[in-house]
Structure 1
């Protein structure tokens, strides 16, 4: 089986036979010594960033549509219509706020995976420098 991204939201790929080595792409509390956290390869991190950003965008679209509920007006001026509209507005406000919070959470998660990608770049640069230093004078 070809090794590829560990994460697959559609379930069409399976995890590689060999675990991804913990390192620059790890996420969570792990210190690289087997601690808690997650580990992903670079391609998976890119996929996760895109999915979290897409989900945040969907929540923002839903929040914009929920604002319609927050502006609801009763069909008449009697107590029942006004009271019903007031409850619908309160529900719309709660829904809008919840959806905005979820979008914010999704953006925060995407930012964490972007940071992990930055760790990959730093690790690659460090390893390239180390390899360059070790090969000097070996010819």
Structure 2
């Protein structure tokens, strides 16, 4: 028999969709993986700052124009990486919320068993 999954650990499946169910360990692992990925995007933003601060090697027009283009690319990269970090943090928060629901469901079930005179 497979692992026991609770509705509190489900994802999707609203309004007749199939959705997915996860056990507590999987929810925790997914939350950490999304946070780790967000941390990588944060570090990449710090590296992209080098591009955004690029200066031309000389005082002539070509150097300044080239540096300006590189700065624009660096700023666009930082913005994109920031959006990806935000998305990953949002996903991690969803899995954290599901973990909370999972824990509450476990507590509720334990209380119900104790009320009926059983034990865990």
TM-score, with normalisation over the residues of structure 1? 0.77
C-alpha separation in 2, matches of 1:41 and 1:27: 11
Aligned equivalent of 2:8? 24
Aligned equivalent of 1:118? 100
- 8 A Cα contact 1:20 1:39, kept in partner: no
C-alpha separation in 2, matches of 1:45 and 1:60: 23
For structure 2, list consecutive stretches of 5 or more residues without a partner in the other structure.
none
Aligned equivalent of 2:72? 90
When residues 60 and 115 of structure 1 are mapped into structure 2, their CA distance, relative to the original with a 3 A threshold, is: same
C-alpha separation in 2, matches of 1:98 and 1:29: 30
C-alpha separation in 2, matches of 1:35 and 1:19: 22
- 8 A Cα contact 1:48 1:110, kept in partner: yes
Q: Which has the higher contact order (CA 8 A, sep 6+)?
A: 2
Aligned length: 118
Aligned equivalent of 1:7? none
Shift of 1:78: 1.2
C-alpha separation in 2, matches of 1:124 and 1:18: 18
1:40 matched to 2:22? The reply is yes
Shift of 1:35: 3.4
1:72-111 alignment to 2 at 5 Å? 72-111=54-93
Higher helix fraction: Structure 1 or Structure 2? 2
C-alpha separation in 2, matches of 1:62 and 1:78: 31
C-alpha separation in 1, matches of 2:38 and 2:87: 8
Deviations 1:46-105 (A, max 9, x none): 111111111110100000110110000111111111111000000000001111111111
Give the alignment's Cα RMSD to 1 decimal. 2.0
